[in-house]
Amino acid sequence: MSAHTRSDIPAARRVVVKVGSSSISGDNASRIESLVEALATAHGRGTEVVLVSSGAIATGMPFLSLDERPSDLATQQAAAAVGQNVLVYRYQQALRSFHIVAGQVLLTAGDLENPTHRSNARRAMERLLGLRILPIVNENDTVATHEIRFGDNDRLAALVATLIGADALVLLSDIECLYTRPPDEPGAVPIPHVAYGDDLHGFEFGSVVVNSVGTGGAATKVSAARLAAAAGTGVLVTSADLVHHALAGSEIGTWFAPNPEPSAPPATGPVRTAAGTLGG
């Protein structure tokens, strides 16, 4: 069933969960186990779960003796090639005790623009879910170029949710919910609910770059949430520490209500908005 409120999430047929680099790499790598436990609980009650996980570059950095995220594309690609392997291994190790098998799905923006590639990606994920495999999706940083990148995995998660017709999307961040301005500033007020079509132009959602290992931030989550909500997917933005509560339908985070009358997505081809093609 489509999730119209947070409380619908536990009964959702299909849920996409996105986690950022800072939540599962470096000193926070141990948090993978808690995240996986929450995903396994949802999987165990019959929900089809897709994980969109950043972290390949950040995970690979120590193996390349890098102290900060590389700025040049070639080194980013090298770090991603090493880190993606290690990252999926860590997820599979954590999933093993729940008898769940992970399946790696790496995408570029071009894959969701090309009708054939888009159809193939949808078919592959549908089959993985039908086999009760847990797909772990990430941008294919090893081959992506600056010109064809998604830009951040919040956007990728929204596009994946739309691609597979997810009932709910959970965007995990470093804070419990979105605020009307950066939460460390005076006058910041929590935003518990965003009705479909609400005007958010008066709010300040902060910088795009949030730390030394990843990209993203409140603004990208708002943009991604509105993209998914427009396609009929309810979206919850909350802290990675609260993922258990999020998947249990607790009244936490910021909920973006889905479009009550979404137009059917195209069977093939890129996702388009009034601003142009998304995924390029």
Q: What pLDDT does residue 145 have?
A: 63
Q: What pLDDT does residue 176 have?
A: 92
Q: What pLDDT does residue 73 have?
A: 87
Average confidence score pLDDT of the chain? 86
Task: For residues 31 and 90, give the distance between their C-alpha atoms in angstroms, rounded to a whole number.
Answer: 11
Q: What pLDDT does residue 147 have?
A: 47
Task: For residues 188 and 251, give the distance between their C-alpha atoms in angstroms, rounded to a whole number.
Answer: 20
Residues annotated as binding site?
A: 18, 54, 141, 153, 173-174
Tell me the mean pLDDT in the region 103-118. Answer: 89
Tell me the mean pLDDT in the region 218-247. Answer: 94
- 187-232 residue pLDDT tens: 889 999 999 988 877 676 654 433 444 445 788 899 999 999 999 9
Report CA-CA distances (Å) from 179 to 56, 116, 220: 29, 40, 14
Count of beta carbons in the 10 Å neighbourhood of residue 185: 11
Helix (H, G, I), strand (E, B) or coil at 107: strand
User: Which positions ≥6 away from 64 have C-beta within 8 Å?
Assistant: 75, 78, 79, 82
Residues annotated as binding site for ATP?
A: 18, 173-174
Q: What pLDDT does residue 99 have?
A: 98
Residue at 96: amino acid letter: R
Task: For residues 11 and 247, give the distance between their C-alpha atoms in angstroms, rounded to a whole number.
Answer: 10
Question: Could you give the dihedral angle defined by the CA atoms of residues 194, 200, 206 and 210, in that order, rounded to the nearest 10 degrees?
Answer: 40
Q: What pLDDT does residue 219 have?
A: 84
- 27-62 residue pLDDT tens: 899 999 999 999 999 999 999 999 999 999 999 999
Q: What sign does the CA torsion over 68, 70, 76, 82 have?
A: negative
Q: What pLDDT does residue 216 have?
A: 52
Q: What pLDDT does residue 214 have?
A: 46
Q: What pLDDT does residue 279 have?
A: 31
Residues annotated as binding site for substrate?
A: 54, 141, 153
CA angle 149, 150, 153 (to 5 degrees): 130
- Under the banding of pLDDT at 50, 70 and 90, the label for residue 272 is very low
pTM of the predicted structure, to 2 decimals: 0.89
Q: Identify whether the C-beta of residue 159 lies closer than 8 Å to the C-beta of residue 279.
A: yes
Radius of gyration of the chain (CA): 17
Closest of 234, 158, 228, 166 to residue 13, by C-alpha:
166
**CATH number of the structural domain 6-262:** 3.40.1160.10
Q: Where are the alpha helices (DSSP H) in the chain?
A: 21-24, 32-44, 56-60, 73-96, 109-113, 115-130, 153-164, 218-230, 243-247
Q: What pLDDT does residue 143 have?
A: 78
Q: What pLDDT does residue 173 have?
A: 87
Task: For residues 50 and 160, give the distance between their C-alpha atoms in angstroms, rounded to a whole number.
Answer: 9
Q: What pLDDT does residue 200 have?
A: 78
Task: For residues 142 and 67, give the distance between their C-alpha atoms in angstroms, rounded to a whole number.
Answer: 20
Q: What pLDDT does residue 151 have?
A: 62
- Residue 244 in this model has a pLDDT that exceeds 70: yes
